[in-house]
Amino acid sequence: MTSRHLREIPPYVFAELDVRRAAARAGGRQLIDVGIGSPDQPIAPVVVEAMQRAVSEPALSGYPYFRAHPAFAETVAAYVAARFDVHVDPSTELLALAGSKEGIAEIVLSHVSEGDVVLVPAIYYPVYARAPQLIGALPVCVPLFADGRLDLDAIAPGDLARARVLIVNYPSNPTTATITLAEYARLVAFAKRHSLLLVSDLAYSELSYDGFVVPSVLQVDGARDVAVEMHTCSKSFNMAGVRIAFVAGSARALNTLYQYRSNIGYGVSTLSQRAGAAAFANYSTIVPPVVAEYRARRDAMVSAFASHGWQVTSPNATMYLWLDVPAGYEDWEWVDTLMHGPGVVVTPGIAFGEAGSGHFRISLVQPPAMLAHAAALISECRAHASANVRNGE
């Protein structure tokens, strides 16, 4: 028997994409997969060596620390201080997580009750909406301005009165929008005014280009009264399979999260925390080559698209391109056309909410030459599509 709330959750678009991709592969198709944002670059040797050492630690026989291994907490606090000039108390303002996706779900589940509202950006990473739905709470989309800022005045007063949590994500997956500290300050003030917990998902904190440095909400004075921020090793360190992340910020909110987690688990694997500590301890040497590779991929693909006549802006952060679906195509129709035609897998914009419809996302998870090739194949399909539109098909 499936729980009522789980039963009522609409199908997960990424699962649908998986099914279609598997069917295409089963039919013998060779695919260029730029659909899911799963890193393909190797884990840094210094992290691999730390994991190898950790395997023989006697401490592995026992359960991990509930909140965070002291070595992980200390290293992460030092990283947050060096990177953002933010000084958190490692014992009360930090918690280790087995990935930020779980962390976001748990922070929602521990702070929200049935019937409450969770405010999410209109184009959003799916867990923001799915976590509240799991307990009969209501995700409410906040419209976005063209530059990716939230139109807070557009939130209906009734929804605002029931809202407990506001989730934001800059740099954004999938739109690649970024934020300024002044805008974070506006969000912090809004959260204080309306007694909201502000959750900042900083999954792409290190993946930025052209001199842009990603800010943290915790850099805003007083932010830690109302805000928590999710950081992860998945993207910046190519460690998505290791499942290590952390949350920093409001001690009160983290205590609530800790209460929730202590009822259902035993903390994060010591192996993963050792790996995460090695990553954050060495972030200043591990991250630059990762970023250089993504920059080369971005440049190769953006210039290939531009040479085929696309209006494409080069994102200054994340590992994605967010493009318009050609006129005359529905989201899924375009995805299927690319999959069954040239064999390119992309993600439909609808995976990120209704407002994402009319777009598709490309993940920069192939080498530059392959991405340029994929851009040429996608462009051929688009040229064909516009010929069909002209012919009135």
User: Is residue 294 close enough to count as binding ligand PLP by CB under 6 A?
Assistant: no
Contact between residue 121 and residue 172 where contact means Cβ atoms under 8 Å apart: yes
Phi, psi of 252, rounded to the nearest 5 degrees: -65, -45
CB of 273 to ligand PLP, least distance (A): 14
User: Is residue 173 close enough to count as binding ligand PLP by CB under 6 A?
Assistant: yes
CB of 382 to ligand PLP, least distance (A): 26
Dihedral of CA atoms 211, 212, 216, 222 in degrees, nearest 10, equals 90
Residue 187 vs 385, nearer CB to ligand PLP: 187
> In 3-state terms, what secondary structure has residue 323?
strand
> In 3-state terms, what secondary structure has residue 320?
strand
Interface characters, 153-172, with ligand PLP (x: CB under 6 A): ----------------x---
The piece of 8-16, 71-79, 93-101, 300-308 that touches ligand PLP (CB under 6 A) is 93-101
Touching ligand PLP, residues 341-370 (CB under 6 A)? none
User: Is residue 125 close enough to count as binding ligand PLP by CB under 6 A?
Assistant: yes
CB of 217 to ligand PLP, least distance (A): 14
Residue 203 vs 300, nearer CB to ligand PLP: 203
Interface characters, 198-217, with ligand PLP (x: CB under 6 A): ---x-x--------------
CB of 58 to ligand PLP, least distance (A): 28
CB of 390 to ligand PLP, least distance (A): 37
Nearest to 34 by CA among 245, 320, 248, 268: 320
Residue 222 vs 241, nearer CB to ligand PLP: 241
User: Is residue 37 close enough to count as binding ligand PLP by CB under 6 A?
Assistant: yes
- Strand ranges in 60-202 using DSSP code E only, listed in sequence order: 94-97, 117-121, 138-142, 163-168, 197-201
Selected from 175, 178, 208, 232, the binder of ligand PLP by CB under 6 A is 232
Question: 3-state SS of 87-116?
Answer: CCCCCCCEEEECCHHHHHHHHHHHHCCCCC
Contact between residue 31 and residue 339 where contact means Cβ atoms under 8 Å apart: yes
Residue 242 vs 371, nearer CB to ligand PLP: 242
CB of 235 to ligand PLP, least distance (A): 7
Nearest to 365 by CA among 379, 381, 347: 347
User: Is residue 121 close enough to count as binding ligand PLP by CB under 6 A?
Assistant: no
Selected from 31, 240, 251, 291, the binder of ligand PLP by CB under 6 A is 240
Residue 149 vs 382, nearer CB to ligand PLP: 149
Distance CA(344)–CA(362), nearest Å, equals: 10
Distance CA(283)–CA(380), nearest Å, equals: 40
Phi, psi of 233, rounded to the nearest 5 degrees: -85, -10
Residue 310: partners with Cβ closer than 8 Å, 6 or more residues away: 323, 379, 382
Residue 16, strand partner residues = none
CB of 373 to ligand PLP, least distance (A): 24
CB of 385 to ligand PLP, least distance (A): 28
Phi, psi of 232, rounded to the nearest 5 degrees: -145, 150
Answer left, alpha or beta for residue 353, where phi above 0 means left and psi between -120 and 50 means alpha.
left
CB of 101 to ligand PLP, least distance (A): 3
Residue 131 vs 323, nearer CB to ligand PLP: 131
The piece of 94-102, 182-190, 219-227, 354-362 that touches ligand PLP (CB under 6 A) is 94-102
Distance CA(164)–CA(84), nearest Å, equals: 27
Distance CA(382)–CA(338), nearest Å, equals: 10
Selected from 67, 69, 83, 101, the binder of ligand PLP by CB under 6 A is 101
CB of 102 to ligand PLP, least distance (A): 6
User: Is residue 75 close enough to count as binding ligand PLP by CB under 6 A?
Assistant: no
**Footprint on this chain of ligand PLP (rule: CB under 6 A):** 37, 99-101, 125, 169, 173, 201, 203, 232, 234, 240, 245
